[in-house]
Structure 1
């Protein structure tokens, strides 16, 4: 019996809303529904180009950005599925082309989502499962050399974890986040992430806390997966402002990443180590360097230099945007701010909005030694946004001077009324769900 036809085509926003109503929980980790849907779709995940599967708590997206840039510098076609999006859902889907990939267009994405909807025939399925299935359908229709696949949440039961034999599995830094879904210890969370490791498939990992590394090593041993670990099989350092990478094959002295912060050297090193672990491709030093220098990833210590919000900030101020939202994300952003302060000293203001399930105190504690001025804002159009008063309470508990504001624009206007001897450095941070509206309001959405 054929599945019933879907209703007439809708704008993407309305289609996503309709698909979101198919399951009562936005997040419900399981592979049963995904396997059922993929069977109904005739298994598009089995018709993909070789897959590199990336898990971790922080740094997944940046690592994928470096992987894509290096692969494209070598002339390869690269499909990419990442999440979440910042401004529009098309950002999650990049189709490989010779000379550089492109975001999927509205019509083609709508067709893929509606194809999945028809096959699903009204069965319970989460929106992320439909979005992942749509990625597999899109990628199976277009030739490519590599697919880069980012885990949405966790790993073991994430809807991306249906690729039986990827080219490689990658684990970016693991830290405490999403404890309500993944467990309340680093050991438990690492176990969820490490479960993407597949038998006899190389696993490449960033430097990890000892308890997380122990779990990853146990999984790799159990699956007979060759392990390439930072600080063991490969090393990355900063020397004279350049990225120096070394493994058993030799040493590479490369230009620094364009993406700002010491942690980006580590993310770039993870991407290099991944590609060096594979026999399928060979890359020149020039291709590695072109990728490291050329990689872009919005809302990760991104300097906003022009746009509507920049114009609303105090004259001469620096405006930075970072989507960090957990303790470790705050740590790396604070370290990057410390580097900036050493170069050019400015008063720092942190404008922050967070989701209600995040640990605001653990996040903001990273900035306690850098600033006493926090402005708490809501995240637009998010019912589960943390109320600014609650975020402010967490800042006050750390001894910070804090105020609340109705939004980013109002916060920036309030700063223009202050008498700064030196124009301030302003960081907008706390959530990728805040970063998206910021980019949209500034008029600089991701391309």
Structure 2
């Protein structure tokens, strides 16, 4: 396995992990305290587009960024979790934050915090907001980490726009056990009078969003009501009250990306007046063509893992809930026939059987692996047992490399999908160089 040499930021990040006894503690009090000590950078950001949702936040944000950058805009972006390196979370005016800047920001936030209790996500979000406030740009894209109402990113008084991507059951221990409860948390990013783009939603979730929007006077631009997006003859068709766009399919594979693309185009529509001088058709086309978002049905084409199975197709996806399982299953069904084998590692906080059940008809086997350096990982034995319950022939391996080698030995021309967790995806990307 390849690893990068330790950097100064690594030591600071590791220390920040110890500042609160809980990984998750969803309140905003600690954020307000530290932001005040830092001079309230959240009030000095370039116009903010704030995204929440269960699935598709990262892909939708990446498409919005590709469109804005095609229009000549400088864009900050905040995402989580990272895959290979923490630096991926903070993009300053188009570029990932460099090591020297990250180290200085983390040090400054650590000193301002003064050893007080604060979660890792909270203090690193403060660092990102501080970086964004100090670096000139035209837009700031903020992706929630968990939920919305009390998410650490929900500290901007008046964003330019909010976006809610599809909501499904996930993180029940923090957000609630029903779609209505989870939607209530996600809808917490809505602000009075600020428009919100809404992706496809279950009826129960949409009712909650609509009620919250009505209470706040937040105009909605909702899928199925105000905009539509669908595939026709290998093209993406987007339509709203301003007209119809005939676009290339998004570079991110999967039928579910059509809906994410629609939400991204709808968001770009909402800021279209600020894109003067750029053809909106060209902006929307670039959002589809130029988007890149790793570990979302990503085809790996080189590296040690691919070398271990030179005749196989090797894919990577970080989805981890039942909705993601359905989306992956739909994409597998759309690919040319090829015997498909999963390599899967999951966290013990996830609905493992719910994730695997949609995949069962489309795969020949599942090799279960533990997720490296993840305290909440399911053991390979537990993951394999869940796969068996879902009707998938299962075995175990020590790691992804061993699993790929075993599959390739028996079926050299297999389609291999490594899946089940963004943390496993990150480990694979690091291992694959």
Q: Structure 2-normalised TM-score? A: 0.96
Task: Look up the SS of the partner of 1:382 in the other structure.
Answer: coil
Q: Distance in 2 between matches of 1:23 and 1:117?
A: 13
Q: Determine if the alignment matches structure 1 residue 288 to structure 2 residue 294.
A: no
Q: Determine if the alignment matches structure 1 residue 19 to structure 2 residue 19.
A: no
8 Å CA contact 1:275–1:281 kept in 2: the answer is no
Structure 1 residue 398 displacement after superposition: 2.0
* Cα pair distance change 1:69/1:50, threshold 3 Å: same
Q: Determine if the alignment matches structure 1 residue 119 to structure 2 residue 115.
A: no
Residue in 2 aligned with 1:393?
A: 385
Q: Distance in 2 between matches of 1:280 and 1:160?
A: 26
Q: Distance in 2 between matches of 1:14 and 1:41?
A: 22
Give per-residue Cα distances to partners, 1:73-93, cap 9 Å, x unaligned: 000000001000001100000
Instruction: Return the match for 2:414 from 420, 424, 437.
Output: 424
Cα RMSD between the aligned structures?
1.2
Write the mapping of 1:118-197 to structure 2, written as runs, cut at 5 A: 118-197=111-190
Task: Look up the SS of the partner of 1:411 in the other structure.
Answer: helix
8 Å CA contact 2:408–2:414 kept in 1: the answer is no
Structure 1 residue 371 displacement after superposition: 1.6
Task: Look up the SS of the partner of 1:112 in the other structure.
Answer: helix
Structure 2 unaligned segments of length 5 or more: list them. Answer: 1-5
Residue in 2 aligned with 1:86?
A: 83
Q: Distance in 2 between matches of 1:263 and 1:42?
A: 41
Structure 1 unaligned segments of length 5 or more: list them. Answer: 1-8
Residue in 2 aligned with 1:408?
A: 400
Task: Look up the SS of the partner of 1:400 in the other structure.
Answer: coil
Residue in 2 aligned with 1:44?
A: 41
Q: Structure 1-normalised TM-score? A: 0.93
8 Å CA contact 2:341–2:414 kept in 1: the answer is yes
8 Å CA contact 2:54–2:166 kept in 1: the answer is yes
Q: Distance in 1 between matches of 2:35 and 2:135?
A: 18
Residue in 2 aligned with 1:321?
A: 316
Residue in 2 aligned with 1:312?
A: 308
Instruction: Return the match for 2:331 from 325, 330, 336.
Output: 336
* Cα pair distance change 1:287/1:405, threshold 3 Å: same
Give per-residue Cα distances to partners, 1:345-394, cap 9 Å, x unaligned: 11010110001111110001011111241100000011110111111111
8 Å CA contact 2:48–2:142 kept in 1: the answer is yes
Residue in 1 aligned with 2:3?
A: none
8 Å CA contact 1:372–1:399 kept in 2: the answer is no
Task: Look up the SS of the partner of 1:349 in the other structure.
Answer: strand
Give per-residue Cα distances to partners, 1:32-65, cap 9 Å, x unaligned: 1100111111101111100000000010000000
Instruction: Return the match for 1:54 from 41, 51, 55.
Output: 51
8 Å CA contact 2:37–2:112 kept in 1: the answer is yes
Q: Determine if the alignment matches structure 1 residue 214 to structure 2 residue 204.
A: no
Structure 1 residue 416 displacement after superposition: 2.6
Q: Distance in 1 between matches of 2:390 and 2:65?
A: 40
Give per-residue Cα distances to partners, 1:96-141, cap 9 Å, x unaligned: 1xxxx11000110111111111111111111101111001110111
Q: Determine if the alignment matches structure 1 residue 258 to structure 2 residue 251.
A: yes
Residue in 2 aligned with 1:76?
A: 73
